[in-house]
Structure 1
Amino acid sequence: MPDRSTIYLDWNATTPPHREVLAAMRQAAEHAWANPASVHGPGRRARAWLERAREAVAALVGLDARDVILTSGGTEANNLAIAHAFPPGVPGALVVSRLEHPSVCRAAEALAEQGIHVAWAEPGPSGRVSPEAVVDAVDRAARNAPVRLVVLQAVNHETGVLQPVGEVAAIVRGRGARLLVDAVQAVGRVPAAAWEGADLVTVAAHKLRGPKGIGALVTRPGVQVRPILRGGAQERGLRPGTQDPLAAAGFAVAAERALTTPSRYAELRELRDRLEEELVRLGRAVGREPVQNGTAERAPHVSNLSWPGWRGDELCAALDLEGVAVSSGSACTAGTAEPSPVLTAMVGPERASSAVRVSLGEDTHLEEVMEALQRWSRVLARGGPLS
């Protein structure tokens, strides 16, 4: 019988926690489980993990530990970062694109409902938001209100396309605005130049082989963040609520490891390219050659292909039955009937509805990729639901 063990090729959705991360969390569970706000010994032991996480995240993104706000993850960090620029009753404009993560796009839409002017930068079919498109959006927005914030992710979560953060940072700085960079899919995978020039950077631990439920917003010195929650004085009152020292322990170790993992991801480029070439060959053999989504420069581990004659979610389900774990879009929009907003903005709804994302990770090896291709070929040989 064929091996039915799952081959996990969905590292952009989440990463398997590393054994060193799990060991740190077990240690914290035994010795540092107290409330980090308590001043006694057990509380101080718990707080030590929070401060270690803060230092590790600061080193990872190249900013100061005093400006690291621990959050429940990337979504909260993005919301907190966006909210800071728009105090109630103060006019302002936001520039963003439809390629951003749902935690950014939904927050932008909510601000628009509150009267904040939102200008949407137009992405190209390559999956890249050009600096020229940002300039156009900033100019359009400035005719309505002062531009306070521009948002541009470092690496797209669905296509892996690298965005021109450095060029956009210079534009934003010259216009007197601030730049938020969602670096959730970038840290630990590509060099730090991918988010260089940002005023605010967001990170999520579970993309770094850390635990879910913890992330961070990191700001340049002098950026004043306003809380979106009210409560105690935790995180300098910017993110009230009792912190979890177990999650912080995992985040600390994951962030420390992530300083060295971009080199391992760089080695995945050849494997990703081979996988992509073989998938195109398999599709061509059955008369359904897939089309690549995201032709601009990409992170080395991500491939997104649209498959004629298939719905992306149905192809993912068929592959799951064969023991291959991939996705048809962002995990945060899974379960919806609508095609990916990111791919729809890039290439239209038809190609978006047939897209499948494959994302490799630091533990992915040639043998399992070749086995995944064999299983993929069995699915294609049976024909799609529209055949």
Structure 2
Amino acid sequence: MTQTSTQTSTQTPTETPTETSFGPLLRQCRQAAGLSLRQLAARVGYDHSYLSQVERGQRPGSADLARLCDEELGTDGRLSATFERRPARTAQLRPEADPLETAWRGLAATLGADCPMPADHHSVPPVSLLPDLLRQLQGAAQAEAAELSILIAETLTRLGERSSARRWWWAARAAADSAGSGPLPALARAREATIGLAERRPLTELLQLADESVALDRAAPGRAGCAPLTARALVLAELGLTHEAHQALQELIGVGDELLRATPQASPFELHWAEGRVCTLLGYGVAGCVLLERARELCPDSWIGERARLDLSLAECLVVAGEVAAGLATALRVLVELPDEWHDTLVYDAADRVLRVVQTEPGAAELRRLLARPMSRSGRSVGVGSSWR
């Protein structure tokens, strides 16, 4: 009997937190506590399907989940310790300041070789994308420098680096204006105005950018697609100028397909997203939901961040349309299931907009908790207005 026990112990040693990764250890501890996935999920406030994916290693989990499970399962910090010992992912490291500053100082002298745009940059998490953009900026011609500067400014905004983003927006406008006639000057201002809404920049400042964008686009030999009209319609709706926003929406809908044909590189889903967002802001809930559903159908599956923002915009629109429970459930699902590397300021701005219209509804407290929890990649709060500084 003793010999059999010893042999069994040798063949299947008891796993320690060091030897077991977070997901399998979570399953062991849950089963040892006699809880089902649904029971544990209800106690820690996470979706049971998400917990199942974490246990199977399909999702990494989070420090917040580990802490809550430690509390519920009485595991004395074992899960948190194991989660913290997971292999570090280089994608979660913030680039050093020097490459950013070097690229900034060298921007004025960018001449010479053509610089290809990043392949499908929407599919790359913002922390991973920024170093690649900075590398490609070296030696870029003026037009490519303008396009890369727009992407760098957008990426910095998503990472919460608002002060640095402002400098790069200035660089994008300057490079675009120096590149000669074409759509870039209008595009740079339109993109800055649109993303500025998520930064909560002064709306009068953003309206000026949007108006400049529309004027430049109409005077340019090449069109900037839907971006200028999109920016203006969104800012007018945010300002509460209902009549002007309605007119801008009608113009956008009227010429949208034509502009898409004129600019093949444009994404149709972005047009329908903008139309749906304006409808939501104007209180046209049903129409907004239809347009946002259409945008979701057109958005590639690999564009994880964009799809998360679309789903959160749809959640807000569902609430406006009277489907409060469905909208709140959608927002909670997005925040729980979205991988950590895609948790950025644009996603959390979209989630915060849902929270603002469901403040007193059951479940709002859970959404508020998810918005306030620390983000594992940097330890900072991911709520609106957060930054590394």
Identify, as 1 or 2, the structure richer in helix: 2
Taking structure 1 as the reference length, what is the TM-score of the superposition? 0.28
Higher relative contact order (CA 8 A, sep 6+): 1
Work out which of the two has the higher radius of gyration on C-alpha atoms and give 1 or 2.
2
